[in-house]
Amino acid sequence: MYRSIRATVLALGALVLFSGCASNVPRAQYAVAPKTEHTLKATDSPEVKVAVASRDIELLDSDRSRIAEKISRQFQPQADADAARPYRVQVTVTRYEKGNAFARAMLAGLGQIHIDAEVKVFLNPGDEVVNQFTVEKTFAWGGIYGASTTILDVENPFAEAVANGLKGTTGTAVAASKPNADPSRSKSLAAGSLREKAMTAGN
């Protein structure tokens, strides 16, 4: 039994290690690396809309508006900048879990917070898709820090990650079709390996 508990703790510890703290900005995962001419500039003013992938995702209209505003806030249009290009950004939330503060306080790895989304960039007119990627943000820390962190805190780095994906900055990952060059994928694989070892040790 002791070995089983130890294995569980090791697995949860590995998950926390690779999930990062609330302020860590995740990397965008591109289906196809975006063309330079279709990456947004910091001075652009894209139209951002947030939707949900299914009715099972509990995301109120106020939540959608807040997340869209946080993403839009990552852009600072200038009065003397070039005319804003007609880009429309569709953020489809595929996972939105507030987690459980009490569970996080008890043990790191429990009561996790998740925000995942698929992002598409359309060029108007014509609604041509010119960029597409996913963003996944997980928070799994425990203790007082874990209990005091809310999904509102996690939305901030999530919004920054979406903006980075739109801008194609160095903070984003390379195309997902090249897994060996994707640092976040390597972390995920490493975490999975640690969990497998922990489960083996508990048998």
pLDDT of 183 reads 40
Pick from 120, 139, 129, 128: nearest CA to 51: 120
Distance CA 88, CA 81 (A): 19
pLDDT of 80 reads 58
pLDDT of 189 reads 36
pLDDT of 152 reads 96
pLDDT, tens digit (0-9, with 9 covering 90-100), for 79-89:
655 566 779 99
pLDDT of 77 reads 80
- The residues facing 51 across adjacent strands are 92
pLDDT of 76 reads 86
Task: Give the CA-trace dihedral at 172, 23, 95, 6, to 10 degrees.
Answer: 110
pLDDT of 141 reads 92
- Three-state DSSP at 131 gives strand
What are the residue ranges in the chain where pLDDT is below 50?
Answer: 4-18, 171-203
This model's pTM is above 0.85: no
Burial of 105 (0-12, 13-18, 19+ CB in 10 A): middle
